[in-house]
Structure 1
Amino acid sequence: MDYDALAAELRKLRESVAGVTDTVIAAVDGIPIISDVADSVDPLNISALAAANLGIARQAAEVTRQGTLNQTVVFSSGGYMAVYAIGRIALLVVLGDSGLNLGRLLYESRPVTERIGSILTP
């Protein structure tokens, strides 16, 4: 696995979207693969929460027959947590502060998740 390429994708996303504070790539079972986070953020905890979030959201999409789940976004009083499905193998977690440019994140996330998926499945 090319960890340098994954790290570069996380760094580019943080640098190109205002308000992104932390990013994690994890397996769908919640085990972190690589992270770009502040010392105060535990990648293992965030990955586990994101995997649970994604699992519940996938079930909701299936039960309501709304197709394949792409992402979830948690809106909080102090910021955001966006979770993106990377196929059925992994997920991308993006944490943002209250100044997160959510529109820009949504725009940038699709090509980023596609590139990450390509790196994870050579």
Structure 2
Amino acid sequence: MPKWKITTEFTFNAAHSIRDYDGPCGRLHGHTYTVRLEATSDRLHASEYCPHAAMVADFRTLKWAKRDVLKGGLDHCNLNEVLPEGYESTSEMIAQYIYDKTKKTLPEGIKLKVAVSESPNSWAEYEDD
């Protein structure tokens, strides 16, 4: 069975504080977050921007989170004010939020994995089987 896998990576800048955290992360501070998305499929699809089945998923669609917060993304926001209830502003929960929102825009059958880093040497990944 054929299988395609695409990967894209981008950054966005945002502020946050971790609720009830005993330490500096409990205070408002900022990061340049790096996000890596992997999408895997056994068939190719059309997209909002390309009408014929030629891609796993559109990179443009996958990178929604890098847009300015006023345009529906996460760039230059306070994550504590933007993330919906139930999501904390930890890297783990940011990865889950980006996964959940991205998954809703993709065709059925695409497997998705999202990794988020708030520093060069620390990553959190989220995927759902």
TM (normalized to structure 1)? 0.32
Bigger helix share: 1
Larger radius of gyration: 2
TM (normalized to structure 2)? 0.30
Bigger strand share: 2
